[in-house]
Amino acid sequence: MGAGKSTIGRLLSEHLATAFVDLDRLIEERAGASIPWIFDIEGEEGFRERETQSLEFILNTPAQIIATGGGCILRPENRQMLATFDLIVYLETSIEQQLERTSKDKNRPLLQTDNPQALLLAMAEIRNPLYQQSARLRVDTNAKPPKLVSHEILNFLDETQNEKLPS
């Protein structure tokens, strides 16, 4: 959360001339409702079910860059689906950076609490090991502009493409 997934995803999409999907926006489009509304009416479990259904929907579309929500990694079935993608990038961000980037965002239902820092710490304990297991590339986004992060990812893609070329 607050790592820059959507911004960096859009930059990569433009550079690679590949479609970009923000999974949270897709969930809202398919539901005809905002994420806070879904959380209010259906709770987190209802939202997570919609997230899994939307991820499954994406699997049936052509190659693209996808920004998942921060909690998408929690469900084993989501991790299995994500494993079918060519590259999973984990955008690592400190709790301090997350707080700074999300402090004024009211569209994050999980952070609407008296102590968002404690919540982010608790979420990181559960989520970070799952991100680390699933990702092929980890990029630190702390205090880095999105363009720099996207260039790191593009450099990795270039290097891995060169590894596949015959000598």
Alpha-carbon distances of 95 from 3, 4, 125, rounded to whole Å: 10, 13, 11
Spatial CA neighbour of 24 closest among 33, 13, 15: 33
Query: What is the value of pTM for the model shown?
Result: 0.85
The CATH code of the domain that includes 118 is 3.40.50.300
Contacts of 137 (CB under 8 A, 6+ apart): 87, 88, 89, 90, 153, 156
Domain that holds residue 111: 5-146
35 is a domain residue? yes
Q: What is the pLDDT of residue 163?
A: 66
151 is a domain residue? no
Task: Characterize the bridge pairing of strands 137-140 and 89-92.
Answer: parallel
Q: How far is CA 128 from the centre of its chain?
A: 12
Handedness of CA 48, 52, 58, 64 (dihedral sign): positive
154 is a domain residue? no
Give the angle subtended at the CA of 101 by the CAs of 137 and 67, to the nearest 5°. Answer: 40
160 is a domain residue? no
State how many domains the chain has.
Answer: 1
56 is a domain residue? yes
The SS3 assignment for 21 reads strand
Q: What is the mean pLDDT of each run of 10 residues along the chain (167 residues)?
A: 90 95 95 94 95 93 88 95 92 90 72 83 93 94 94 94 61
Q: What is the pLDDT of residue 24?
A: 93
**Locus of tokens 């960096």:** 8
152 is a domain residue? no
39 is a domain residue? yes
32 is a domain residue? yes
